[in-house]
Structure formats: structure tokens, C-alpha cells
């Protein structure tokens, strides 16, 4: 019984990894487009004022877009469907992308176990993001918040492991620095999420809502940078399914 040649198997593995990078990049763009439309369709209201009109970046959360009914009890079907599709797409893409941590380790496979642990954290985080999309806060706020905490908590661990693997495997500074900066932001947000002010007062609501906007858009930016970096590596590495251009470093 003949097996697949090692070189051919590596090329297939590399091309599959590149497709996972493409999926994450597409999901990030899709999230921006769909949530932008959802914001425009949101009828208004927040948890301390049910009479506001439209979406507010300082007093509404992204999760408000996914509620089937808003605080004023108006239906929010169009915005909710768009948000669910956007976030579930990102969650699914993270699930598929997470194993690509092994790409960073390259042939030397430094910190291989850390990469495996990071991939596991990424997969669970992605599943939790899908859970956030599937369970709107107005359906089950407790379960929705649990998914939020799991998603961002394990995303933090995923980035910690990814950064460690990047450092040990001499990953390009252009991708390492944004990841470290994002790690600091994400750690700060996790502290805010678990120990920050409550949202029953305007000041606390604004702090939490603005903090969420910062971390969500930072997350989209950073995962796009990391996915692009991994894809670029794969394209330029012959035994991973790519080709090296003449004169390339």
C-alpha cells in the first residue's frame, strides 16, 4: 500500500493552511461589512435608556446588535441576523485557523507543545464566539455572558501561546510587534470584563462599551495581520506548497 510522498504531503498541508488564513481574512472583512450594516439598522435603546434612537458607539455593545428584541421591546430581526452571521463566521474561521500556530514554529518546531496548547485555546475560543452569536443576551443573558468570558479569556491564552512561539521561532518583527501590542490590549480588556465597572450606571456603561469597541476592532486588525503573515510565509516556502521568487530573502 503506497503512501503519499512526504514532499507532496507537506505541500497539501501548506495549501490547506493557506486556505485557513484566507478564510480568516474573509471572515474579518465580512464582520466589518455586516456589522456596519447592522449598526445602521439597529432601532435604538440601551440598558439604561430605552428611548434612544439608533446605535450609539458609547452606550451600546456589539451584542445589542444580536438581540432579537432591543431594550425598548422593538423587534430587531434584520440587525440580529446580520450580527449572528458576522460573529459566527469569525468564530468558525478562528476554529479552523488556530491549528496554523504550527506554521509559526516552522521546521524547527520550537515550543511545539505551546503551539498545540495555543491551538486548543483558539478552537475553544472560536466555538465560544459562535455561542455568543447563537445565544442573544435577551434570550439568556447568563449563558451569553459566559460565552463572552470564555471567548475572550481563551483568546487571550491563544495570543499568549502564539506570541511565545513567534518569539522562540524568530518570527518577523512586523508581525510580532502588533501581536504583543494586541496582547497588552486584550489583557487589559479581560481585566475590564471581569473586574471593571458595572453597566447599570452611565459612566460604567460607557467605559465597558468603548472598551469593547477598542478590543473588537483591534482583534479584527490583529488576526488579519497574523493571517496575512502566515499566508505570506506559506506562499514563499516551496516545501509548504508555495514558491520563492527570484531574489527573495
Instruction: Please enumerate in sequence order all residues whose Cβ is within 8 A of that of 143, keeping only pairs 6 or more positions apart, or say none.
Output: 131, 135
- Is 247 a member of any domain? no
- Tell whether 216 is covered by a domain: yes
Domain count across the chain: 1
The pTM score is 0.86
- Tell whether 1 is covered by a domain: no
CB burial of residue 142 (10 Å; 0-12, 13-18, 19+)? exposed
Reported as a pLDDT band with limits 50, 70 and 90, residue 249 is very low
Q: Would you say residue 195 lies in a domain?
A: yes
Note whether residue 10 is domain-resident. Answer: yes
Domain-located, residue 245 = no
User: Which distant-in-sequence residues (6+ apart) come within 8 Å of 128 by Cβ?
Assistant: 91, 147, 148, 150, 151, 154
Q: Which residues, other chains included, contact 107 with Cβ-Cβ below 8 Å and sequence gap of 6+?
A: none
The domain containing residue 66 runs over which residues?
6-240
Residue at 54 is within a domain: yes
> How does pLDDT run across 186-224, given as a tens digit for each residue?
999 999 989 999 999 999 999 999 999 999 999 999 999
Nearest-5° Cα angle at 127, 226 to 181: 30
Per the domain annotation, does 248 fall within a domain?
no
Q: Are 59 and 46 in contact (CB under 8 A)?
A: yes
Render pLDDT for 67-120 as a digit per residue (tens, 0 to 9): 999 999 999 999 999 999 999 999 999 999 998 887 776 656 667 788 889 999
Average pLDDT over residues 54-61: 95
Amino acid at each position: 500500500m503506497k503512501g503519499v510522498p512526504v514532499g507532496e504531503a507537506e505541500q497539501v498541508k501548506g495549501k490547506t493552511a493557506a486556505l485557513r488564513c484566507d478564510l480568516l481574512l474573509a471572515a474579518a472583512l465580512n464582520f466589518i461589512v455586516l456589522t456596519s450594516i447592522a449598526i445602521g439598522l439597529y432601532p435604538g435603546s440601551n440598558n439604561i435608556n430605552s428611548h434612544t434612537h439608533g446605535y450609539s458607539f458609547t452606550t451600546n455593545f456589539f451584542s445589542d446588535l444580536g438581540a432579537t428584541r432591543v431594550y425598548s421591546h422593538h423587534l430587531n430581526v434584520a440587525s440580529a441576523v446580520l450580527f449572528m452571521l458576522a460573529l459566527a463566521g469569525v468564530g468558525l474561521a478562528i476554529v479552523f485557523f488556530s491549528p496554523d500556530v504550527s506554521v509559526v514554529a516552522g521546521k524547527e518546531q520550537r515550543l511545539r507543545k505551546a503551539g498545540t496548547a495555543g491551538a486548543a485555546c483558539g478552537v475553544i475560543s472560536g466555538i465560544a464566539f459562535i455561542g455568543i452569536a447563537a445565544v442573544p443576551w435577551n434570550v439568556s443573558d447568563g449563558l451569553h455572558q459566559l460565552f463572552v468570558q470564555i471567548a475572550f479569556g481563551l483568546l487571550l491564552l491563544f495570543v499568549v501561546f502564539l506570541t511565545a512561539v513567534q518569539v522562540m521561532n524568530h518570527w518577523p518583527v512586523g508581525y510580532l510587534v502588533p501581536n504583543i501590542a494586541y496582547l497588552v490590549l486584550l489583557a487589559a480588556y479581560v481585566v475590564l470584563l471581569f473586574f471593571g465597572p458595572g453597566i447599570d450606571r452611565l459612566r460604567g456603561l460607557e467605559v465597558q462599551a468603548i472598551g469593547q469597541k477598542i478590543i473588537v476592532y483591534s482583534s479584527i486588525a490583529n488576526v488579519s495581520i497574523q493571517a496575512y503573515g502566515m499566508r505570506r510565509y506559506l506562499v514563499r516556502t516551496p516545501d509548504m506548497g508555495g514558491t520563492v521568487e527570484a531574489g527573495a530573502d
